[in-house]
Amino acid sequence: MIATLHSWARRNLFANLIDSIVSILIVAALGWLLTVFLRWVIWDAYWQRIYESLRLFLMGQFPADQTWRAWVAFAILCTAVGAVLLPWARRFGVASWLIACVAGVFVLVPPGLDRWGGLLLSIMLTVVVSTASLPLGILLAFGRSSRNPSLRACCTGYIEVMRSVPLILVVYWIWITVPLFVPEVSISSLARGMIGYTVFNAAYVAEYVRSGFQAVPRGQREAARSLGMSDWTISTEIILPQALRVVQPALVGNVLDVFNGATLVFIIGLMDFLRAGQLILADPTASSQTNEVYLFMFAVYFVIGSAITFGSRRIEARMQRSTR
């Protein structure tokens, strides 16, 4: 290990005199910055405010006596993620994920959807939107690839419109218009926000899936037709599984985009993880802890984003091994 590291350093950092000087200066600067940063984190930063506000960060205004529901839902989702990533459990991955989503939402519903907040809201919004966007995106991809001109035009128009407007506009528009169409039904703000986010994200999922369709050799479709298979059977049993396999890393990466975009729900009055931090800083007694609050939020976003990226690379690596 040491010999390998030494060889890498000589080849990449100290190959000649100029590279050596630049490398030494960069390493010295980074070492100085890291020293200053760690000194502030360990000695100067005041983390008591983070500890006192931890529940608001994690769950927002979720009832304190119902906290167990959030932990149960978290355990269910972690189990489902493990089922998706573990090779020996991948045959149950999709089914377990769908069951986990339904179970997690079911556990958290009784206190009220609009009571969700903080990191709990961001994660559940990501889970629900990512899961609901997939089947809708697949249907849109099928529609855009259809030989029916009317269906193809409608799906293409939907996808292009959604991809041409910002997410915040779609979420706000759905939030306003849903009560106008169903005035006799009371729909929570979170449910309307999820609907808006889902119809927006489904357009991007549809383009991912459509690119997967194009990656499948045309000869497979023609061979299946020669065997007398219907177009529906060919699309769902031959083309779709291969297309999803090709675009699976992109779909997993799209989950990260959904998570990062969850902060936009503040426009409809919901308090996600970022909004919780801003509310904490709105307290005059916490105004001097701006650096600590934003560093904590950055660390949480970085950890979750890195976990999603790791999952995407793990799936991609497994796919590459299985195709050799």
Strand partners, 18: none
**Model's pTM, two decimal places?**
0.83
The predicted pLDDT at position 140 comes to: 92
User: Cα 202–204–207 angle (5° rounding)?
Assistant: 110
Parts of the chain with a pLDDT under 50: 88
Structure tokens at 68: 């167990």
The predicted pLDDT at position 133 comes to: 92
**For residues 248 and 242, what is the distance between their CA atoms, to the nearest angstrom?**
10
Q: Report the candidate in 252, 262, 255 with the shortest Cα–Cα distance to residue 297.
A: 262
The predicted pLDDT at position 270 comes to: 84
**For residues 241 and 7, what is the distance between their CA atoms, to the nearest angstrom?**
44
Alpha carbons within 13 angstroms on the beta-carbon side of residue 21 total: 2
- Asked whether 254 and 130 are in contact (CB, 8 A), the reply is yes
Mapping DSSP to helix (H, G, I), strand (E, B) and coil, where does residue 272 land?
strand
**For residues 113 and 188, what is the distance between their CA atoms, to the nearest angstrom?**
7
Q: Report the candidate in 321, 273, 271, 245 with the shortest Cα–Cα distance to residue 93.
A: 245
The predicted pLDDT at position 158 comes to: 93
The predicted pLDDT at position 84 comes to: 63
- Asked whether 188 and 112 are in contact (CB, 8 A), the reply is yes
The predicted pLDDT at position 3 comes to: 60
Structure tokens at 304: 């979750």
